[in-house]
Amino acid sequence: MIYRFVFTTFFARMDPEKAHTLVFKLIAAVGRVPVLNGIIQGALAPYLRDGGVTVFGRRVPAPFGLAGGFDKNAEAIRGLTMMGFGFIEIGTVTAHAQPGNDKPRMWREIPIGGVRNRMGFNNEGAAAAAERLRDLRSTKSGRAVFVGANIGKTKVTPAAEAAGDYATSASLLAPWADYLVVNVSSPNTPGLRDLQSVDALRPILVAVREAADRATEAAGRPRLPLLVKIAPDLADDDVDAVADLALELGLDGVVAVNTTINHDLGEGGLSGRPLLPRGLAVVRRLRARLGEDPVIIGVGGITTPADARAYLDAGANLTQGYTAFIYEGPFWAARINKELAR
């Protein structure tokens, strides 16, 4: 109730992107203070105890994590872990730094618990994110955090050169991540969703797989799990086609779903509560098509522990959220993971 009062009287009156930046900097700063880090993690331990799950041969502290889009540059992983997320997915990261689309580019849809954005992969580039992940992994506590890296195409890179662009990011990030996600489903980079077609997607995934394998082998690290992230707006037949391609190429899994353009609220992709029904439907379809082994990370519309549980019941191994973090407050993830642990 305290957070909702603060949100209504303060954050809701701010520009959404400015509010995000303010909160993000605070979380990052708190994560850099060892004393606070220890106190908060100790307080949250009961929320995460006995809630772990084994994925990709590793024990993840809890099944609900932070989706890509919040920490684009791997700057606040420690602070976000302190908030009770079981794992963190950074990005979307592109091979080259880019400013993203012109502002304004983020809008709250408070009555429906949603957010629209057309950010356009604003980030500092793969080299900067990789350097921060390298620093994180230099400590024992940093190596214990489960981190995924979400990569996308640089806007100025022609579609014909997309495979090389993604491979550049993969080679830089693979030695420091626990899994890699190829994002071809954001609606905010022109032509990106066209890369979800099987013919366009296959060479990208092959190039990323090869680049990641070379990088991890050179670093003396094990093979890195590779997943692809898809949009909720794909037709069912296209969802099946991506699943079949994942099986053909031996991918480790699929992340479902990204934001939707199936709305009449204005420009940008919509995230939040309205995505839940379609997200669950896509996860059920993927699990039926993929079989038992590939990992599915379910994301889209999760607000309550029951929403996260619905994704797990639909066939997801892990779940993620982001939008409701804005509306529910700093320990939202901890509450969900505590309920899932029951």
Question: Model confidence over 52-105: pLDDT tens digits?
Answer: 899 999 999 999 999 999 999 999 999 999 899 999 999 999 999 999 999 999
Q: Which residue has the tokens 């080299």?
A: 127
Query: How far is it, in rounded angstroms, from Cα 88 to Cα 180?
Result: 12
Break the chain into its structural domains and give their ranges: 2-341
The response to whether 117 counts as a known ligand-binding position is: yes
Query: How far is it, in rounded angstroms, from Cα 94 to Cα 318?
Result: 24
The set of long-range contacts for 21-30, using a CB threshold of 8 Å and a minimum separation of 24, is 24/70, 24/71, 24/75, 24/76, 27/76, 27/79, 27/80, 27/82, 27/83, 27/330, 28/75, 28/76, 28/79, 29/79, 30/79, 30/82
* Average pLDDT in the chain: 94
Q: What phi-psi label fits residue 35: left (phi over 0), alpha (psi between -120 and 50 degrees) or beta? A: alpha
The response to whether 272 counts as a known ligand-binding position is: yes
> One of 171, 186, 197, 271 is an active-site residue; which one?
186
Which CATH class for the 2-341 domain?
alpha beta
pLDDT band at residue 41, thresholds of 50, 70 and 90? low
pLDDT tens digits, one per residue of 248-275: 999 999 999 999 999 999 999 999 999 9
- SS3 breakdown of the chain: % helix, strand, coil, rounded to 5? 50, 15, 35
186 catalytic residue (yes or no): yes
The response to whether 323 counts as a known ligand-binding position is: yes
The response to whether 25 counts as a known ligand-binding position is: no
Per-residue confidence (pLDDT) for residue 48, from 0 to 100: 63
The response to whether 73 counts as a known ligand-binding position is: no
Of the candidates 89, 96, 37, the residue with the CA atom closest to the CA atom of residue 68: 89
pLDDT band at residue 337, thresholds of 50, 70 and 90? very high
